[in-house]
Amino acid sequence: MSTNAKVISAVLSLTGATALATAQTRPAAAAQTYPTAAQTRPAAAAQAYPTTAHSTTAARTYPATAGQTRPTTSDAHSATAARTYPSAAQPTATAQPTATAQSHPAAAQTYANSYTYGRPNRDYSQPSHHANVEFEEESFYDSFIRGRLHIGLSFTSSTAKETKAPAETCYLGNLDNLREEEMTGIGFNIQYDLCDYIALAFANDIHVEHSVWNKPTEEHPKESTDGNLILEGMLYQVILQCPFRFYDNSWALTPYVGFGIADISAKWDHAAWWHYGWSSPADYDTYGNGSKTPRKGNSRWMVLEEPSSAFTFSVGMSLQILAHLDLDFFYRKVSIDDIDATFHRRHPTGPIEREGSFPAEFTTLGLGLRYVF
């Protein structure tokens, strides 16, 4: 072969080899396929990290740290090291889509990077620190009894407003003088607070007892009593109060005023000598010997009418001395219409009746000791 022919053959051989090499260009792998479900960790903002292929079933991809490049090393025993596979070429670093969620094989939790209305999405499978607080409904006792109901005893001492009939007059017959035989009362009292400033009060501590004496006469120069006028009843009041609490409510001082009515009953406790027709207490003690039989058919008795009205006014102050105990000091005025009375006498010559009335207004000082529920 001539020299020119050899040169032409060499040029053709080089040209074919170059063309063949150009035709075998390695394609870039945009997405890597893994044998099992691969785990993807979100990349750092504005950075890309290489996606490596692993032959193990727990393949893992790490994001590139800002400003740093993770080395890809070949390690026969590491699932996190970059490996070379005969069937897949090592891809070059390409930008991957930003992952919005991470799936972890050990714990089924979802972490969201997206934001809704300016606040991050929350995993509502976890307890919230701002969960709605459910308030327990109060019991009937807590709502209507605790600190409102006061029950206790009260001790009273009363004074009659009028004890002597006007000059030259009598209440009935020769009866012109009321003397305080027993003016003390003991009873229960109840108070219920509708609110801090208004309360309802009930008490049965009214007990007033007068000895009714005769005016001396020529026939009976010595004073003597025909019996006792007794007033008893129940009190109903509306209380207006203003509590002052001190030292974290450990004790309280509560002044108050009260207005109301009294349901008064009146009765006459007859003196034995007078009721059974004896002329004097001395004669009855000497000759009657405690007899319950009318003397010579004579007997006397008194009939009282119930008072038509009874109004009360009170001022007082309660002092809380313990958590469930208070003291109550009060002054009370009871205005009662005069008690209408009728005197009856059974006599062999015929019955006798006389009408009159007795005063009944009185004032009371009282002390109460009450338990507060």
For residue 354, give the CATH number of its domain: 2.40.160.20
In contact, 251 and 319? CB cutoff 8 Å: yes
154 and 99 fall within a common domain? no
In a domain, 68, yes or no: no
102 and 240 fall within a common domain? no
SS3 143: helix
Instruction: Copy the structure tokens of residue 352.
Output: 């006798």
**Average pLDDT for the chain:** 76
In contact, 29 and 88? CB cutoff 8 Å: yes
End-to-end CA distance of the chain: 132
218 and 178 fall within a common domain? yes
pLDDT in tens, 90-138: 444 444 444 444 444 444 444 444 444 334 444 545 554 555 555 567 8
99 and 195 fall within a common domain? no
In the chain, the number of structural domains is 2
In a domain, 165, yes or no: yes
113 and 249 fall within a common domain? no
> Percentage of the chain with pLDDT > 90?
46
216 and 285 fall within a common domain? yes
In a domain, 240, yes or no: yes
What's the whole-number mean pLDDT along residues 253-268? Answer: 96
Asked whether residue 346 carries a pLDDT value surpassing 50, the answer given is yes
Domain that holds residue 175: 142-372
What's the whole-number mean pLDDT along residues 83-90? Answer: 48
The Cα 176–Cα 165 span in angstroms is 5
264: burial class by Cβ within 10 Å (0-12, 13-18, 19+)?
buried
In a domain, 341, yes or no: yes
Helix (H) or strand (E) segment spanning residue 273: helix 272-275
In a domain, 302, yes or no: yes
pLDDT in tens, 30-74: 445 544 444 444 444 444 444 444 444 444 444 444 444 444 444
What's the whole-number mean pLDDT along residues 158-174? Answer: 93
91 and 152 fall within a common domain? no
79 and 216 fall within a common domain? no
Measure CA 301 to chain center.
56
Asked whether residue 324 carries a pLDDT value surpassing 80, the answer given is yes
192 and 269 fall within a common domain? yes
147 and 118 fall within a common domain? no
In a domain, 17, yes or no: no
- Range name among 105-109, 293-297, 348-352 with the lowest pLDDT average: 105-109
146 and 269 fall within a common domain? yes
Under the banding of pLDDT at 50, 70 and 90, the label for residue 220 is confident
In a domain, 84, yes or no: yes
In a domain, 136, yes or no: no
281 and 323 fall within a common domain? yes
Asked whether residue 17 carries a pLDDT value surpassing 60, the answer given is no
Higher pLDDT, 261 or 50: 261
